[in-house]
Structure 1
Amino acid sequence: MTLPRTPSMRLDGKRALVTGATSGIGEGCAVALAEAGAHVTLVARTMAAVEEQVALFQSLGWAATGLPLDITDIDATEAAIAAIGPFDILVNSAGLARHSPAIDTKPDDYDAVTDLNVKAAYFLSRNVAKGLIGAGKPGSLINISSQMGHVGGIDRAVYCATKHSLEGMTKAMAIEWAPHQIRVNTICPTFIRTPLAEQTLAIQERRAWIEEKIKLGRVGEVEDIMGATTFLASDAAALITGTHLIIDGGWTAG
């Protein structure tokens, strides 16, 4: 009698591209993939930040290279991915939030948030998938969404709109690229202690509201996202596509 074995979560020999990789959730995702054996290309807008992060990764014995890039520059991003791809794994983690009451939303803020959170993520996913299809390779594309892609939030109409869009985009791409064995999923965190979240967590009444909503009673940490990233990137998630993994301490359950 032969017993089944758990598929490996190792990523040795895989190439991963992670945006927003020099801080916050993106940094955590990049570390998780590198720890699992992937060669990680770290993407951020600032050359100095990318170089510093690459040096730190390499000092720990991890395989890493850097790509200074503004992914809202669609043409430059397409050229870069075509030149250095294909990538087996993509983590779309670069994101932006400009919170305000919906009635006060400024067009410039709307454009800035949607250009990065939706448009840039869309075309980067397309470019990575194009490279995989051209090479005849399977892959795993992971979009960092949010619990706000499934519920609403105070002063977050624009942010919620972008994350709901990301969820729909993910499902459609998953269906279209499934014949090529390219999986597309989202990770949907609650409030995670990052520089992006500090603007909210610093407001006492908002933090109290957040901790009341999170049934486990605490704000998330970057480490809470890392295992999910490795899982979705690996063979352990080989039959998972077109769906979301909500890491919210029970917020949306209630």
Structure 2
Amino acid sequence: MDSGNKFSLEGKRALVTGAGRGLGLAIANGLAQSGAQVALVSRSEDELRAAVQDIGPAATAFPADVAVRGAAAPLLNDVEHGLGGEIDIVVHAAGVQHREPAESFDPDEWDRVISINLTAPFLLSQELGKRQLEKGRSGSHIFIGSLSSQLSLPSVVAYTASKSGIYGVLRNLSLEWAGRGIRVNGLGPGYIRTKLTEAVFNDPERKQRMLQRIPMNRFGEPEELAGAAVFLASDASSYITGQLLMVDGGWTAS
């Protein structure tokens, strides 16, 4: 690693879930631009092919469904083999949403949202953390939270539960692993233009209400998460762990 640039990720290997589009793709691109070899993980092979073309030779596609129980170990084996070494960085960007009033919220949708947004990232970090601890390797684990990690939003009770849980998981992992060289942090995106937030942008009235809550008076773009992700992945944040860095245009500060 370039000792003169603490933001450099040269020589590092990163795994990004949900990397076929949206936030995951933007973060994967940012990590690659900072020097990392990046494993792109998504269920969609078509999206992965397009993502690899977009990022270039630093990116390698690994089609997988991280929500399948028992998927973490085989996925890490494939990625380590494909990238030629152990993983230093993981970013859990895979996520889903379901909007429905709490009194009628579908239990099957509850299970799906919790499985993909909360259980899957924990199990992947659990497996990667175990490997890093066994070999005495340092690491940076980055979870994706949300505005709803800190406050409540209507009709997304399962999403709020999952993202509140993510904040708890990253705090607990940081407590248990910080003294052994593994840092665990999170990013808390505000309203950023992705397929997950498409319902907001297609509703002019709701869109205007959201804008009124954002001190910067605009929505974010996926690329605006990349710098924060590089910071948390790199030695520039070497004394930071257990934190949820909000990238929300000032929403939670207002």
1:51 and 1:225 map into 2 onto residues whose CA distance is: 22
Please point out which of 50, 54, 57 is paired with 2:55.
Answer: 57
- The answer (yes or no) to whether the contact 2:21–2:51 under 8 Å persists in 1 is no
Q: How many residue pairs are counted as aligned between the two chains?
A: 247
Using structure 2 for the length normalisation, give the TM-score.
Answer: 0.93
Please point out which of 59, 63, 84 is paired with 1:68.
Answer: 63
Matches within 5 A, 1:37-56: 37-56=35-54
Unaligned runs of 5+ in 1: none
Q: Match for residue 100 of structure 2? A: 100
In structure 2, the residue corresponding to 1:217 is in which secondary structure? Answer: coil
In structure 2, the residue corresponding to 1:66 is in which secondary structure? Answer: strand
- Structure 1 residue 48: Cα displacement: 2.7
Q: Match for residue 13 of structure 1? A: 11
- The answer (yes or no) to whether the contact 1:225–1:247 under 8 Å persists in 2 is yes
Using structure 1 for the length normalisation, give the TM-score.
Answer: 0.93
Q: Match for residue 227 of structure 1? A: 227
- Counterpart code for 2:7: M
Q: Match for residue 83 of structure 2? A: none
Matches within 5 A, 1:1-254: 8-58=6-56, 62-85=57-80, 86-254=86-254
In structure 1, the residue corresponding to 2:187 is in which secondary structure? Answer: strand
In structure 2, the residue corresponding to 1:67 is in which secondary structure? Answer: strand
TM-superposition CA deviations, 1:159-205 (whole Å, max 9, x none): 11110000000000001111221000010010101111111221111
In structure 2, the residue corresponding to 1:115 is in which secondary structure? Answer: helix
- Counterpart code for 2:110: Y
Structure 2 CA distance for partners of 1:64 and 1:162, relative to 1, 3 Å:
same
In structure 1, the residue corresponding to 2:70 is in which secondary structure? Answer: helix
- Structure 1 residue 251: Cα displacement: 1.0
1:224 and 1:50 map into 2 onto residues whose CA distance is: 21
- The answer (yes or no) to whether the contact 1:71–1:116 under 8 Å persists in 2 is yes
1:105 and 1:39 map into 2 onto residues whose CA distance is: 41
- Structure 1 residue 224: Cα displacement: 1.5
Q: After alignment, is 74-83 or 165-174 more displaced? A: 74-83
Counting aligned pairs with the same residue, the percent is: 37
In structure 1, the residue corresponding to 2:242 is in which secondary structure? Answer: coil
